[in-house]
A = this chain, B = another copy of it.
Amino acid sequence: MHIGICAGGPRQEISKEMQADYWIAADSGALHLFEVGIEPDCIIGDMDSISDLAKVEWATRLSRAIVLPAEKDETDTQLALEKAVQQEPERVTLYGVTGGRLDHYQAVLHDVAAYQQRYPTIQFEITNATNRLRFLLPGTTILQQDSYTYCSFFSWHQQVKGLTLEGFKYPVTADTIAMQSSRFTSNEILKDTGSITFSSGICLTIQSREESGD
Taking Cβ atoms with an 8 Å cutoff, the residues of A that contact B are 10-12, 73, 75, 78, 98-104, 106-108, 110-111, 113-114, 128, 130-131, 133, 150, 152, 154, 157, 179-183, 185-186, 204, 206-211, 214
Contacts and interface: CB of A to CB of B under 8 A. Distances in A.
A102 B107 contact: no
A214 B130 contact: no
Chain multiplicity (copies): 2
A110 B180 CA distance: 5
A100 B185 contact: no
Contacts of A114: 180
A75 B185 contact: yes
A113 B182 CA distance: 11
Contacts of A204: 106
A110 B182 contact: yes
B100 A214 contact: yes
A183 to B, nearest CB: 8
A107 B10 contact: no
Contacts of A108: 182
Contacts of A113: 180
Contacts of A211: 10, 100-101
A107 B75 contact: no
A149 B151 CA distance: 35
Given A11-B214, A131-B103, A211-B100, A111 B150 contact: no
